[in-house]
Structure 1
Amino acid sequence: MGDHSLWSKNFICISLANFFFIITYFALLVTLPTVAISHYSSTSAVAGLFTTVYIGAAIIIRPFMGPWIKKYGKRFMLLSSLGLFTIASFLYSFFDSIPLLLTVRFIHGLGFGMATTITVAIVAEIVPESRKGEGMGYFILSTNVGMVIGPFMGLTVLDEYNLYTLFWTSACCSLIACLFGVLTRLPAEKLEEIPGGRKRSPLFEMSALPISITGAFFGMAYASVLSFMAVFAVEQGLGAESSYFFVIYVVVLLLTRPLTSRWYDQHGANAIIFPAIVSFAIGMLLLGLTTNTLLFFMAAAFIGGGWGTLFPSFQTVVLQKSKPARRPVALATFLSVFDIGISGGSLVAGVLVGVISFSSLYIFYSFYILIGLAVYYWAQNKECYG
């Protein structure tokens, strides 16, 4: 225990707060593009904007989180971010047009960008250095499980009830996240007041850029799954099975996460990241070849073992290579650059599926991901990761 304790009250509360706001995030992320096409008769490119606008807002706000955390403290920024996220979640129910919903998406994205930065910064501080890989792995597992329940809840509620029931259900999950944020008690911090003549710290951490660019590269491919997997499943006659895609995904994570997290701490990033890239590529290839339930679920398993391992591993690399005082800025840099990949990938996927089929899109991305082996190798040598 002592300095090596992992499962503290704060760690549990911040993980649960993360879990519930991630449910909201993914419940809306996988359903709103479908809603835009089916309910509002929008094109696939407009449907992709629901992701692009949201992530764009997160990118805009994240660089300011480092200075704000120093000035106002982690607890204040945690409650502010979850509060804004919750308010925006309730606003969806009051609007019924694409422009107004995109405006709410932008506000929601601001809260999301703030919350994802501050929660990881808090975890980086409370997890012991000797268990950083394990601690970040379990924290990101709360994201992964939320990523399963969110789409499952969103698609199920939308199918069995209606759009507004989905909005209210998501808003309630946001409110629960906010309550767990209130229960998180952090030690008093020494806040920083920067005199007018003193040079401010940079808003970006340049040392984090190589691994951030790598994360964005893979994020572009994963965005096609987030935004259009449900639409693709319906096209393949697997609409009823689409809710279970992320269930298979998380089952694989639950089985592998304890091992991969410890292997990371014992053997370094390379021993985990290179195999995970290959698994991700195989999963996307199987998704592109999907004609039945078996291939669909096999794709979910390989993508879960691949992407589900890559994302927390990249974040852990950023944490370990950053000075403690610069970790919030380094994390904000990583997430901002990564989200450029997610938002750009969603937009690109929306445009591409107007030209090629979903199957061709996912097969293309399987080869694209393999190129990522070279991208990660470059990042590794650029900053001596691993």
Structure 2
Amino acid sequence: MELKNSSKLWTKSFITLSLCSFLLFLNLQLLLSSFPAYVKDKFLAGDVTVSLVTSVFAISAIATRFLTAYLIRKIHRNVILYIGLIIAALTTAVYVIASTIGSLLLLRVGYGIGFGMASTIIPTLVSQIIPSKRLGEGIGYFSLSTSLALSIGPLIGLNLMQQFGFRTLSIVGALTVIIIFPLIFMTKSIPPEPAKIVHSTAAKQRFNFKLLFPASLNMILAITYSGLLSFIALYGTSVSLDQVGLFFLFNAVTVVIIRPISGRLFDRKGHGAVLLPSAVCVIASLVVLSFTTTIPMLIVSALLYGLGFGAIQPTIQAWMLRISTKEQHGMANSMFYNSTDLGVALGALLLGAIASLSSYAIMYRYAAGFMVLFAVVYMLVNRNTAAKQQAVMLKTASTVTASNVSGIGH
């Protein structure tokens, strides 16, 4: 088994777990884009009911991640992972038997529980095997698994539903999770659980308040992404852009390019070298998007957003892991993914309200304003932290000097 103190990144465990993460998030994205049409067609549901199918899943996933971060210190993480995968596969497979909207919502809650467990454990396993000096680079490559799933999942899901129906889509979605089991068993890719997580009293970690700041920044970023997920199709219709879906294709291109680069930059220079330039890219992207009336402008906006978003997210995740102990990695990953889900949920409400009172173009300018807030808050907090560190260093230096003078006097 490869150990974290090795300098090798592309180990069998790293590759296999990254593939498992891709399959898990592919399962999510395959059905997420198709659910609205399915629910409206089968249950003749309104928009509020359709939104519940997504929101109850998100709420249950968030709650489960908090619980998983706690349970990981008491129950073997492999047990939590396998239970989560089984629940996710089963609920995906039986969506089609739901005869009422209430039973479907219960299945979505169950899926959120399973997905929340698995999506917390797999990144925690990966963070254990990435060499410490290559944490940013490793998380950058690992997070590509979710980006690729986000890029191709909706496209495959919609095509499967149109060609073969929701039942086939549900079966294919379940299979993507089931495939994870032989992958793990055949490759034996799960690293052994560190003894101190199970046996040491140090495992009883209190909440790490240092995680709140980067998690808050990630939530602000997710608010802007929610504006894209929820409203870009409607915006395209309002400005007569039929191919507005190209945004996600070109966004994915720059995400794939920038993530390993930003990861190495984080390892060498720290998060400051990545976050501020990337925030500028996101701001520019959203401003360009708000004025977009042609495909070339849409592509420019997508490329800029991919550069910014693709660099910021893995940097924040690596930052949260770096300021955590091994015992807190489950907590850090849980907070990272929860802050993303919370930002998406808040963004849909806030930006939706702005759009209803003004226009989609104005809404995207407000979204750019959230990223201005991101940059300003980051600079202020970072400056305050640096000032405190400098004060501590000066105080230490003066204490040492006074001690030396006292020693000379004696």
TM-score normalized by the length of structure 2: 0.82
Report matched runs for 1:202-351 at 5 Å. 202=206, 204-234=207-237, 236-239=239-242, 242=245, 244-351=246-353
**Contact 1:209/1:334 (8 A) holds in 2:** no
Q: Is the 8 A contact 2:351 2:367 kept in 1?
A: no
State how far apart, in whole Å, the 2-side matches of 1:371 and 1:38 are.
41
Q: Is the 8 A contact 1:19 1:177 kept in 2?
A: no
- Confirm whether residue 30 of structure 1 aligns to residue 36 of structure 2: no
Cα distance in structure 2, aligned partners of 1:9 and 1:102: 38
Structure 1's 378 and 31: CA in aligned 2 closer, same or farther, altered over 3 A? Answer: farther
| Structure 1 residue 338 displacement after superposition | 3.5
Indicate how the Cα distance of structure 1 residues 90 and 126 shifts in structure 2: closer, same or farther if over 3 A, else same: same
Report the counterpart of residue 378 of structure 2 in structure 1. 376
Tell me which residue corresponds to 1:192. 198
Give 3-state SS (helix, strand or coil) of 2:143's partner.
helix
The alpha carbon displacement at 1:230 in A equals 3.8
1:136 is aligned, of 135, 139, 147, to 139
Name the structure 2 match of 1:149: 152
Residues 177-188 of structure 1 correspond to what in structure 2 (within 5 A)? 177-182=180-185, 183=187, 184-188=189-193
CA distance in 2, matches of 1:8, 1:199: 27
CA contact (8 A) 1:15 1:142 kept: yes
Deviation at 1:236, TM superposition (A): 4.6
Moved more, 107-116 or 136-145: 107-116
CA distance 1:351–1:39, change in 2 (3 Å): farther
Does the C-alpha gap of structure 1 residues 366 and 150 become closer, same or farther in structure 2, counting only changes over 3 Å?
A: same
Displacement, 1:35?
A: 5.2
The SS at the match of 2:160 is helix
What residue in structure 1 maps to residue 75 of structure 2? 72
Aligned-residue offset at 1:318: 0.4
Mapping of residues 51-70 of structure 1, within 5 Å:
51-70=54-73
Can you give the 5+ residue segments of structure 1 that lack an aligned partner in the other structure?
none
Change (3 A) 1:194 1:275: closer
CA contact (8 A) 1:93 1:168 kept: no
Gaps of at least 5 residues in structure 2 are 389-410
**What is the CA–CA distance in structure 1 between the aligned matches of 2:76 and 2:21, rounded to whole Å?**
18
Q: Show the counterpart of 2:18.
A: 15
Aligned position for 2:88: 85
CA contact (8 A) 1:48 1:227 kept: no
Letter in 1 for 2:177: S
Q: Provide the rounded CA distance (Å) in 2 between the counterparts of 1:255 and 1:216.
A: 23
Q: Give me the whole-angstrom Cα distance separating, in 2, the residues matched to 1:155 and 1:140.
A: 24
Post-superposition offset of 1:95: 2.4
Comparing 109-118 and 312-321, the one that deviates more:
109-118
- Are residues 238 and 44 of structure 1, via their aligned partners in 2, closer, same or farther at CA, if it must alter by over 3 Å? farther
1:207, 1:383 within 8 Å by CA — same for their partners in 2? Answer: no
SS at match of 1:102: helix
User: Quick check: 1:75–1:186 contact (8 Å CA) kept in 2?
Assistant: no
Structure 1 residue 8, shift from structure 2 partner: 1.1
**1:276-305 CA distances to partner (integer Å, 9 max, x unpaired)?**
111112222233333232222222212211
- Residue by residue, what CA displacement relative to the aligned partner does 1:339-360 show, whole Å, maximum 9, x if unpaired? 2222222343445544443333
- The answer to whether the 8 A contact 2:292-2:298 is kept is yes
Instruction: Quote the Cα distance in structure 2 between the aligned partners of 1:41 and 1:376.
Output: 46
CA distance in 1: counterparts of 2:356 and 2:334, whole angstroms: 33
Provide the aligned C-alpha RMSD in A: 3.1
Contact 1:71-1:193 at 8 Å conserved across structures: no
For residues 337-386 of structure 1, give each alpha carbon's deviation from its aligned partner in whole angstroms, at most 9, with x where no partner exists: 3422222223434455444433332232122222211122245356669x
Contact 2:205 2:327 in 1 (8 A): no
Q: Which amino acid aligns with 2:316?
A: F
**Which shifted more, 348-357 or 304-313?**
348-357
How far apart, in 1, do the equivalents of 2:325 and 2:255 lie?
29
Count of residue correspondences: 382
How far apart, in 1, do the equivalents of 2:17 and 2:174 lie? 18
Check 1:109–1:348 CA distance in 2 against 1; reply closer, same or farther (3 A cut).
farther
1:96–1:187 Cα change, 3 Å: same
The DSSP-based 3-state class of the residue aligned with 2:123 is helix
Bigger mean CA deviation after superposition, 96-105 or 48-57: 96-105
